């Protein structure tokens, strides 16, 4: 499996231009990806709400640019626009593999007075990958509130533990053709996206804590690079949010896949977004 994850900042590059075709072309230059996970995708959020943007449905536009992929999307923000049309902001997965099932998880949003925040979501697709059914989740955690970010990281681990429990203790067979029909459940899992914390933040370890039952998540970077510092993925070319570039875009894999991680690299050159895309390659079991 070749997977690219990228916070695309609604397609807005450091040149101030929104260009989704450039996003797709840049991702393709990084890899002939089987799965593309993107964060900060907008629908009907024109400027000044999102600088330089128009009211286009970017989920649909990306799908047109990726005709051979199945689109799975989820929105943390879903509001009524002035004309009645929904205004949405969230994440998407585009998969070359068959998508067996989909879940969308609203992440915790506890009150944090005086801090700008928005609701956040994790989008999950179980795909028919070469190594078998694999659960892929992409997310974008809160930036301004550490209270919310910690709660969201904990929830992501809990969702993984819950899914592993279903895989290890499957329901009885039967009930074909209805909503109770069993779907593939798996401990093979990938969690990726923009987590808005650096590796030294406690939320980084929270996601990777051992589970009561099932294989925990592990960051793919140290699997290949040991203690070598993560390549920065944010504030590499512009320093609005930090003078020092740092890594906040990760790929976590469940332990059965840890030994299968063959490559991980960051495109440090592109300026098509304020984040850098991350590529990972995972071999078959």
Counted domains in the chain: 1
Domain with 7, as residue range(s), is 2-170+181-282
Does residue 176 lie within any of the structural domains? Answer: no
Check residue 106 and give its pLDDT: 98
**Pairing status of strand 261-266 against strand 249-254:** unpaired
Does residue 127 lie within any of the structural domains? Answer: yes
Check residue 169 and give its pLDDT: 95
Please list the pLDDT of the chain residue by residue as tens digits (285 residues).
999 999 999 999 999 999 999 999 999 999 999 999 999 999 999 999 999 999 999 999 999 999 999 999 999 999 999 888 999 999 999 999 999 999 999 999 999 999 999 999 999 999 999 999 999 999 999 999 999 999 999 999 999 999 999 999 988 776 778 888 889 999 999 999 999 999 999 999 999 999 999 999 999 999 999 999 999 999 999 999 999 999 999 999 999 999 999 999 999 999 999 999 999 999 998
Would you say 185 and 179 are in contact if contact means Cβ atoms under 8 Å apart?
no
d(CA 135, CA 202): 25
Does residue 130 lie within any of the structural domains? Answer: yes
pTM attached to this predicted model = 0.97
Cα separations (Å) of 198 from 132, 195, 243? 31, 8, 14
Check residue 92 and give its pLDDT: 98
Does residue 221 lie within any of the structural domains? Answer: yes
Cα separations (Å) of 38 from 32, 71, 239, 277? 16, 11, 22, 9
Check residue 227 and give its pLDDT: 95
Does residue 175 lie within any of the structural domains? Answer: no
Check residue 180 and give its pLDDT: 87
d(CA 246, CA 242): 8
CATH of the domain at 273: 3.60.10.10
């Amino acid at each position: 499996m070749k997977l690219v994850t990228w916070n695309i900042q609604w397609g807005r590059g450091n040149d101030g231009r929104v260009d989704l075709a450039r996003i797709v072309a840049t991702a393709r230059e990084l890899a002939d990806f089987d799965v593309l996970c993107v964060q900060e995708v907008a629908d009907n959020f024109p400027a000044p709400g999102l600088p330089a943007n128009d009211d286009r449905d970017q989920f649909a536009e990306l799908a047109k640019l990726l005709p051979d992929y199945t689109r799975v999307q989820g929105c943390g923000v879903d509001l009524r626009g002035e004309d009645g049309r929904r205004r949405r902001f969230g994440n998407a997965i585009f998969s070359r593999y068959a998508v067996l099932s989909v879940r969308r998880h609203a992440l915790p949003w506890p009150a944090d007075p005086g801090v700008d925040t928005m609701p956040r979501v994790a989008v999950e697709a179980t795909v028919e990958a070469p190594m078998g059914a694999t659960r892929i989740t992409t997310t974008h955690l809160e930036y301004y509130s550490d209270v919310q970010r910690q709660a969201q990281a904990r929830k992501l681990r809990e969702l993984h533990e819950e899914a592993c429990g279903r895989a290890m203790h499957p329901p009885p067979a039967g009930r074909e053709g209805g909503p109770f029909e069993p779907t593939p459940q798996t401990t093979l899992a990938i969690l990726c996206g923009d987590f808005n914390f650096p590796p030294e933040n406690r939320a980084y370890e929270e996601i990777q804590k051992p589970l009561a039952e099932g294989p925990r998540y592990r960051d793919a970077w140290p699997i290949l690079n040991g203690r070598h510092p993560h390549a920065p993925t944010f504030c590499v070319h512009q320093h609005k949010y930090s003078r020092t570039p740092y890594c906040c875009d990760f790929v976590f894999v469940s332990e059965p896949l840890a030994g299968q991680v063959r490559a991980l690299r960051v495109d440090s050159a592109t300026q098509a977004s304020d984040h850098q895309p991350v590529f990972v390659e995972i071999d078959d079991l």
